[in-house]
Structure 1
Amino acid sequence: MDKSALITKLALKNGLMLAAVSIILSLTLHFIDPVLIYTSFVAQILIFVLFIALLVVVGINIRKEIGGFWTFGEAFKAFLIVSLILALTATLYNVVLMKFIDPDLPAKAADAIETAQRAMMEKFGMASEQIDEAMAKAGNMQEKLEPTFKNIFTSFGVSLALYGVLSLILAAILKRKSPVTLNSFPKED
């Protein structure tokens, strides 16, 4: 198997494993507290850091399995494949979650988000009229969370864009050139 095909195969395998971890983690958090991920900034940061760490581990493992060296392009390709799988899986999971597992989640999450935002604005000393005005400007949160075609497409696009940027950064960090050896120079006649 050539190096490019091996990278694709390993990226697909690792992407599917990370997608499974993502779904298990999401379901676990959902059953603990359905709105936690929507209202807890700390939970969001911890999940983000966890997935960056998992992506780094996956990248290092793929690099080791292909011989320990890869170019920026090869690393980016691997991370992009993994990212595409994660973005697609997360989008599909959210549709299933909000349509079939917990159809009331958009309403519950919207209420929780609005309550948390109001509490935060009150802590900053905003007047009730200012809070109402800010909440009106933010728009209907439930509409933004409903799994409509527009929201699904937007969510997938934003996820893919963020993962794409992350893929560029990780590829730049984890690339490793093959060392130059005496055997790599052409022989003179």
Structure 2
Amino acid sequence: MDKSALISKLAIKNGLMLAAVSIIISLTLHFIDPVLIYTSFATQIGIFVLFIVLLVVVGINIRKEIGGFWTFGEAFKAYLIISLILALTATLYNVILVKFIDPDLPQRAAAAIEEAQRAMMEKFGMASEQIDEAIAKGGNMQEKLEPTFKNIFTSFGVSLALYGVLSLILSAILKKKQPVTFDSFPKEG
């Protein structure tokens, strides 16, 4: 198997594995507290850091399996495949979660988000009128969380864009050129 095909195969395998991990984490958090992911900044940061670590580990493992060296382009290809799998899986999972598993989630999450925003603004000493105005400016949160075509498409696009930027950064960090050895120079005469 040539190197490019091997990279694709390993990226698909690892992308599916990371997608499964993502779904397990999401379901676990959902069963602990369905609105936790929407209201806890610490949880969101923790999941983000965990996935960066997992993406680095996966990248290093793929690089080892293809011989220990890869160019920026090869690394980016692998991460792009993984990103596409993760974005598709997350989008499908969210649609299934909100349509079939927990149809009341957008309503409960919107209420929890508004409550968390209100509490934060009160801590900063804002008056009730200012808080109401700020929350009204944010728009209808429940509409933003409903699985409409526009929201699904937007969610997928934002996920893919974020993973794309992360892919560029990780590819630049994890690229590794094969060292030039004396064996690679042509022998004279």
Q: Normalising TM by the smaller chain, what interval? A: over 0.9
Distance, in Å, in 1 between the alignment partners of 2:122 and 2:84 is: 40
> 1:135 is matched with which residue?
135
Matched with 1:180 is 180
Q: Which runs of 5+ in 1 are unaligned?
A: none
Q: What letter matches 1:7 in structure 2?
A: I
Provide the C-alpha distance between the structure 2 equivalents of 1:186 and 1:12, rounded to a whole number of angstroms: 38
Residue 110 (structure 1) shift: 0.2
SS of residue paired to 1:126: coil
Give the aligned CA root-mean-square deviation in angstroms.
0.6
Rounded Cα–Cα distance in structure 2 between residues aligned with 1:40 and 1:91: 21
Quote the offset at 1:188 in angstroms.
3.4
Partners of 2:130 and 2:99 lie apart in 1 by 34
Residue 45 of structure 2 aligns to which amino acid in structure 1? I
**Aligned equivalents of 2:188, 2:82: Cα separation in 1:** 44
- What is aligned with 1:74? 74
In structure 1, what is the Cα distance between the partners aligned to 2:50 and 2:141?
27
The one-letter amino acid paired with 2:42 is V
- Paired amino acid for 1:182: F
CA distance in structure 2 between the aligned counterparts of 1:12 and 1:181, rounded to whole angstroms: 33
How many angstroms does 1:65 deviate by? 0.1
Deviation at 1:184, TM superposition (A): 1.0
Partner residue in 2 for 1:145: 145
Amino-acid identity (%): 88
1:86 deviation in Å? 0.3
Structure 2: gaps (5+ residues): none
Task: Tell whether 2:168 aligns with 1:164.
Answer: no
1:83 and 2:83 are equivalent in the alignment:
yes
Q: Secondary structure at the match of 1:139?
A: coil
1:63 deviates by 0.2
Residue type of the partner of 1:39?
T
**Aligned partner of residue 147 in structure 2, secondary structure:** coil
Partner of 2:122: 122
Summarize deviations over 1:102-159 as a string: whole Å, max 9, x none: 0000000000000000000000000111001101100000000000000000000000
| Structure-to-structure mapping, 1:20-39, within 5 angstroms | 20-39=20-39
Runs of 4+ in 1 over 2 A off after TM superposition: 186-189
Give the match for residue 105 of structure 1.
Answer: 105
TM-score (norm 2): 0.99
Task: For residues 8-27 of structure 1, give each alpha carbon's deviation from its aligned partner in whole angstroms, at most 9, with x where no partner exists.
Answer: 00000000000000000100
What TM-score, normalized by structure 1, do the two folds share? 0.99
**One-letter amino acid of the counterpart of residue 88, structure 1:** L
